Amino acid sequence: MTAVQSRPRRHGMRATLLVLPAIIPVAIVVIGGIGTTVVQSLGLMPLVGTPALSVDAFESTDNLLGSALLSLGIAVVSTAIAAVVGFFTAVLIISGNWGGRIVGALSAAAVTVPHLVGAASVGLLLSDSGVLARILGIPPESWPALVAGPTWFAVIAEYAWKESAFVALIIVGTLATRITSYDETAAMLGASRGARLRLVLFPLAAPSLLVASAIAFAYTLGSYEVAWLLGKTYPEPLSVMALRLFNSASLTARPEAAAVAVITLLLTAAIVGVAMLGLRRMRAWQ
């Protein structure tokens, strides 16, 4: 190790060279992409005409607030379900019975399914002439409008399904071995099931539960294909609105699409910031 310490400059150079190939594509996509989107939203990069700084795109976009609230609502409900189901799934997997192994295999399978495929199969499952309606023998007219209905049920169900598997995977991956030993210690000292769940398993899983939920929330807020395939056409979530404006023929629509994207970015940043604060508090408390 003396050789390393006597050549810190060379070592730093080597480390930089190792990191650089990963930084370049990420920087192009994140900084370049977001930068261009922000510039477009402020009217500085119009398709035709002279660039001029303005916030017109934010003001002229119809029902931006409604779409933002809808997106937030879908993300909050589906992330909440995913966090609860994911936590209990992780507890089942960690407990290590044969049932836990089956649940573990099924949730791992769900993690690998593309969201679009998940949306397609949830559509086949829940539509008014879908597989569930057929198996339960309910005619289409008395089946509730789960797909493309006012409750956004199918969209929320798909996100909750996929993200609960993700949450479980993260909790199991980060804490499996530690949790088991603490759980056994608490059991030996006479803690009941409920007490162990509340006072041992939950506090230990809480930081990774929070991180996984924040990632799931950010994903849900920014995801497009599920809401596009299974949702109502109006009102539309932010991502669907942005893509519709982006593809529309109108020349003023591009800055508006970028404005919707900027709003989504700000919402995501706010949520991630809150989650990071929560994580810091959790670490300080432990």
Partner 1 sequence: MSAGTTSVSLDKPVVHPPRRMPGDHGSPLTQSRGVARVLRIVSTALIALWFALPFLPLVLWSFANQWMHPAAFPMEAGTDGLTAAIANGGGLAFLHSLLLSLVVAVIATPLGAMAARALSRGHVRFGKAITVLLFSPVLLPPFAAVLGLNVLLLRAWVPPAVGVVLVLVAVAIPYTTFSMRAAYAAYDDGFDDAARTLGASSRLTLWRIHLPLIAPALARSAFLAFLVGWSDYLITLVVGGGHMITLPLIIASSASGVGNESSVAVLSLSAVIPPLILLGFIARTRNLDPGKQR
Residues 64-93, interacting with partner 1 (CB under 8 A):
85, 88-89, 92-93
Q: Which residue stretch of 48-56, 59-67, 104-112, 202-210 sits at the interface with partner 1 (rule: CB under 8 A)?
A: 104-112
Binding to partner 1 by CB under 8 A, coded x per residue (else -) over 224-243, reads xx---x---------x--xx
Restricted to residues 121-180, the positions that interact with partner 1 (CB under 8 A) are 121-125, 129-131, 134-135, 137, 139-140, 158, 161, 164-165, 172, 176-177, 180
Q: Report the C-alpha gap between 226 and 210 in whole angstroms.
A: 23
Q: Contact 60/256 with Cβ under 8 angstroms?
A: yes
Give whichever of 119 and 206 is closer to partner 1, judged by the CB atom: 119
Return the residue matching tokens 């607030």: 65
Q: Contact 180/94 with Cβ under 8 angstroms?
A: yes
Restricted to residues 246-265, the positions that interact with partner 1 (CB under 8 A) are 246, 257-258, 261-262, 264-265
Instruction: Give the containing element (helix H, strand E) for 234.
Output: none
Angle (CA) 41-42-44 rounded to 5° is 105
Measured N-to-C along each axis, helices 33-41 and 253-285 cross at an angle, to the nearest 10 degrees, of 130
Q: How many residues interact with partner 1 (rule CB under 8 A)?
A: 104
| Residue 182 binds partner 1, judged by CB under 8 A | no
Contacts of 284 (CB under 8 A, 6+ apart): none
Task: Tell the smallest beta-carbon distance from residue 38 to partner 1 (Å).
Answer: 8
Q: Which residue stretch of 54-62, 98-106, 144-152, 277-285 sits at the interface with partner 1 (rule: CB under 8 A)?
A: 98-106
Q: Which residue stretch of 48-56, 58-66, 108-116, 145-153 sits at the interface with partner 1 (rule: CB under 8 A)?
A: 108-116
Return the residue matching tokens 């996100």: 159
| Residue 27 binds partner 1, judged by CB under 8 A | yes
Q: Contact 259/61 with Cβ under 8 angstroms?
A: yes
What letter would DSSP give residue 190?
T
